[in-house]
Structure 1
Amino acid sequence: MPAARAQDMRGLDTMQTPGEMLGWEGVGRLDLPGGFCTGALIAPDIVLTAAHCVHDRATGAPVEARGMIFRAGFHRGQSIVQRRVLRWVVPGGYVPTAGGQIGSSAIAQDVALLKLESAVSSAQADPFRVHEIPPEGTDVSVVSYGRGREDVLSREAGCTMVRRYRGGIMGFDCNVTFGSSGAPVFLRENGRLRILSVVSGGTDLGRSGGEAFGPSLPDTVARLAARLRRDDARPSVSAGARRVTVGGNREGIGARFVRP
């Protein structure tokens, strides 16, 4: 195995050195009480992730924003920059579920925007733009942290958007695992990276032959961003939120088993 890069049988490239993360600095690990997800900057002070990441996996209760930290470009214990989360918003139609499963109606709304305590400068990490749904068969890549690779960013470049479901849900033949929840699904347009979706869940987590699912973003993100602007002075989460737990351990908030 080359020292600079590890690649498993599923075509997942692990970024072993900080230099390999060039261009991906805006992707980071979202640390929560008891676990983590993956998120990405879409504005200097706004992070995009999955709505189920900000709800307790066991109970569906909201998680306090003050217990969350976004670590951009996190690599072996060091971050390019890190910020605490001030508040978050999710779609009004998102209904959290308890017990770890999420249905198709929830997948379509499984989007969260996180307002950071202060902006990240472009010299540290550039935000990404979101993209409309492309035709089926479009090449995509998933960039995430996950169980067994919590300290390094990994990328699966060789996957595609295989199908579209009703309600704006997309299916990808990308392998996701616990901790991949909220990870950006990228496509490249005119040489620039754009976020097509976020990982909501998947089947056969961490195995070949599974399918990952995610929602369409542009309309939902626009509405949530408008809410953040309107509610800029008001927190969105009550002080009584429960801790996020992950099956009794700290391995990460799981990408759920889903059935569109």
Structure 2
Amino acid sequence: MSKFAAAILLILLGAVASAQDAALRTLATGDDGKDWGAVGRLEIDGRGFCTGALIAPNKVLTAAHCLYDRKTGVMHDVSAVEFRAGWRNGRAEAYRSVRRAAVHPDYVFGQDELMSRSRSDLAILELHHPIRNSTIEPFETAGRLRKGSKIGVVSYAVGREAAPSFQETCRVMGRYRGVYVLSCDIDFGSSGAPVFLFEDNQVRIASVVAAKAELNGQKVALAAALDFALDEVEGEFAEKTIRAPLPTVKVSPQRNNTGAKFVRPNGG
């Protein structure tokens, strides 16, 4: 058994039983998606998409690997990345180009060790112009998740890229080296999706989807914890950032494939 499989197995064996996961629900109408307009599709250089969410009027939280070409390992030109808030059925509530990006200082694209890669798989995109819309409210972030925390995910994915899907209830199965193991239903395109914590009558982002994995036939989601790591990404704006000139041509809304990168570890 691989070290990864052994670690995950320990987490699964130690997981506390909880309520059954909710099914995915498509947010296909304006009424369905009215509380989730700050979640959007990230169009990546005409080659794919990921999911991202506003944490400030001009900042989008997502997964770092979304910014890299999966074949070459080279970072995309961030001027070719566009955030489409509340994207649904061919239209968005707001379109914004990216001014600059910062990734976690420890992130290395293509790193072999899955847990290390997932732990630092965080990026923040600064938009050229903030989104100030009464129907789009940025989400606050939360600290550490616990087993039994009430969580859910809003994401786009292959086969459901036209509108976001909401899984209102999934489980925190454990945490290992700054990575949460979740029962949430994700797929290609869900990279960067916000994992929401529902607590004290608040909805806050507590983690970001980094990868999906499979262990002995059971699908799990791996998500980067935000405590400590998010501050480190923010710190990168003062140092190593990738800037883009103000674009003069709008990115085409027609996209075909997803640039999301996931890994399926060996189960034994």
> Please, what TM-score do these two structures have when normalized by structure 2?
0.81
Separation of aligned partners in 2, 1:143 and 1:107: 19
2:49 equivalent in structure 1: 36
1:69 equivalent in structure 2: 82
Higher strand share: 1
Residue 156 of structure 2 is aligned to residue 150 of structure 1: no
Question: Once the 2 structures are TM-superposed, how far is the Cα of residue 183 of structure 1 from its aligned partner?
Answer: 0.3
Question: Once the 2 structures are TM-superposed, how far is the Cα of residue 150 of structure 1 from its aligned partner?
Answer: 0.8
1:197 to 169, 192, 207: 207
Counterparts of residues 24-173 of structure 1 (less than 5 Å): 24-33=36-45, 34-97=47-110, 103-166=114-177, 168-173=178-183
Q: CA RMSD, aligned part only? A: 2.5
1:11 to 8, 12, 23: 23
2:228 equivalent in structure 1: 219
Gaps of at least 5 residues in structure 2 are 1-20, 246-254
Gaps of at least 5 residues in structure 1 are 1-8, 240-248
Separation of aligned partners in 1, 2:232 and 2:149: 26
CA contact (8 A) 1:62 1:237 kept: no
Question: Once the 2 structures are TM-superposed, how far is the Cα of residue 226 of structure 1 from its aligned partner?
Answer: 3.3
CA contact (8 A) 2:69 2:259 kept: no
C-alpha change, 1:251 and 1:182, in structure 2 (3 Å) is same
Aligned to 1:203, what secondary structure does the other structure show? strand
- Detail structure 1 runs of 4+ shifted over 6 Å in the superposition: none
Aligned to 2:126, what secondary structure does the other structure show? strand
CA contact (8 A) 1:27 1:72 kept: yes
Separation of aligned partners in 1, 2:124 and 2:264: 22
Residue identity over aligned pairs, in percent, reads 34
Separation of aligned partners in 1, 2:32 and 2:171: 23
> Please, what TM-score do these two structures have when normalized by structure 1?
0.83
1:254 equivalent in structure 2: 260
Question: Once the 2 structures are TM-superposed, how far is the Cα of residue 221 of structure 1 from its aligned partner?
Answer: 1.7
CA contact (8 A) 2:68 2:74 kept: yes
Question: Once the 2 structures are TM-superposed, how far is the Cα of residue 135 of structure 1 from its aligned partner?
Answer: 1.6
State the AA in 1 paired with 2:174. R
Separation of aligned partners in 2, 1:256 and 1:58: 13
Question: Once the 2 structures are TM-superposed, how far is the Cα of residue 121 of structure 1 from its aligned partner?
Answer: 0.8
Question: Once the 2 structures are TM-superposed, how far is the Cα of residue 209 of structure 1 from its aligned partner?
Answer: 3.4
